[in-house]
Amino acid sequence: MAQYAILIYADESNFADMAPEVWQQLTEAHGRFAQQVGEKGGKILGGEALQPTGTATSIRNDVVTDGPFAETKEALGGFYLIEARDLDHALDIAKLCPAPGGCVEVRPVMDVSGG
């Protein structure tokens, strides 16, 4: 098994004024996803939703600036860390990850254990 990050990108403006029932649906969709990963033979090792990029602070060469590292229409809004057999398995799982109107990116996690 290998580890992959599923990075969820979406247009933040969609979330800014999201109706409570829509938010509720999204939360339920993520609950279902967590269940489906297990059914697919994968495993969720972790994951979080992030506050919008308006709350981000960037540091480059020790210079602290307000805002995300790049201003883009779609921004990183959350992530999962999963375990999967190979890329096809990871993609199979990532296809189930809720990202309404957005996109998910699958990135292999680098093994730095040195073993």
Partner 1 sequence: MSDSPPAGDPAQAGDPAAGDVAAAGSDPAAAVADAHRREWAFVLAATARVAGDIDLAEECVQDAYVAALDAWSRAGVPRNPAAWLTTAARRRAIDAHRRDRTLRSKLPLLIEPGSEFAAAPPPGAGEETAEDDVIPDDRLRLVFTCCHPALAREAQVALTLRLVCGLTTVEIAQAFLVSEPTMAARVTRAKKKISAARIAYRVPETAELPDRLDAVLTVVHLLYSTGHTAPGGENLVRRDLVERAIGLARMLRTLMPDEREVRGLLALLLLTDARRTARAAADGRLLLLAEQDRSQWDRGAIGEGTALVTGALRGGRPGRFALQAAIAALHAEAPSYGDTDWPQILQLYDRLIQVWTSPVVALNRAVALAMADGPGAGLAEIEDLERGGHLAGYRYLPAAKADLLRQLGRHAEAAQAYREAFELTGNETERSFLARRLNEVTGVRSAGRPARPH
Phi and psi of 41, rounded to 5°?
85, 10
Residue 105 binds to partner 1 (criterion: CB under 8 A): no
Closest CA to 101 of 71, 77, 69, 67: 77
CA distance 50 to 114: 30
For partner 1, which residue of 17, 60, 71, 115 counts as binding (CB under 8 A)?
A: 115
The residue among 8 and 90 lying less far from partner 1, judged by its C-beta, is: 90
Interface residue with partner 1 among 86, 95, 103, 105 (CB under 8 A) is 86
Among 15-23, 28-36, 69-77, 87-95, which window interacts with partner 1 (CB under 8 A)?
A: 87-95
Q: For residue 110, what are the CA distances in angstroms to 14, 26, 81, 114?
A: 32, 30, 12, 11
The site for partner 1 (CB under 8 A) is made up of: 2, 85-88, 90-91, 106, 108, 110, 114-115
